[in-house]
Amino acid sequence: MDRFVVESAVGSDGVLNLRLPLELASANRGVRVTVEDIDAGTLDRDQRQQLFLSLAGSWQGDFEVMPDDPPEERTDLS
């Protein structure tokens, strides 16, 4: 049996229904089903690059410089 990927969505009731078209030769054989969330963390290299490039020039507003904290007072070690 070949490995293949099927993407589906969890219904509003929280149930995932899958219908997998398997060959008749696969009847009465064990299978393994792995469930993974599909999110932004799983983007491939090209998708990450496109996302990065789409953000270029999207900053709005002025840059702000945070004020420096006053210097820490220390005792002399000598």
> Which one, of 11, 7, 73, lies nearest residue 38 by Cα?
7
Question: Whole-model pTM?
Answer: 0.35
Q: How many domains does the chain have?
A: 1
Q: What is the pLDDT of residue 40?
A: 52
Which one is predicted more confidently, 63 or 38? Answer: 63
Considering the chain, what percentage of its residues have pLDDT values greater than 90?
Answer: 0
Is residue 28 in a domain?
Answer: yes
Instruction: Please tell me the distance from the alpha carbon of residue 50 to that of residue 56, in angstroms, as a whole number.
Output: 10
Spatial neighbors of 29 by CB under 8 A, at least 6 apart, are 1
Is residue 73 in a domain?
Answer: no
Is residue 62 in a domain?
Answer: no
Is residue 66 in a domain?
Answer: no
Is residue 65 in a domain?
Answer: no
Q: Residue 70 pLDDT > 60, yes or no? A: yes
> Which one, of 58, 20, 55, lies nearest residue 40 by Cα?
55
Find the domain containing 8 and state its range.
Answer: 1-57
Is residue 42 in a domain?
Answer: yes
What DSSP character marks residue 25? G
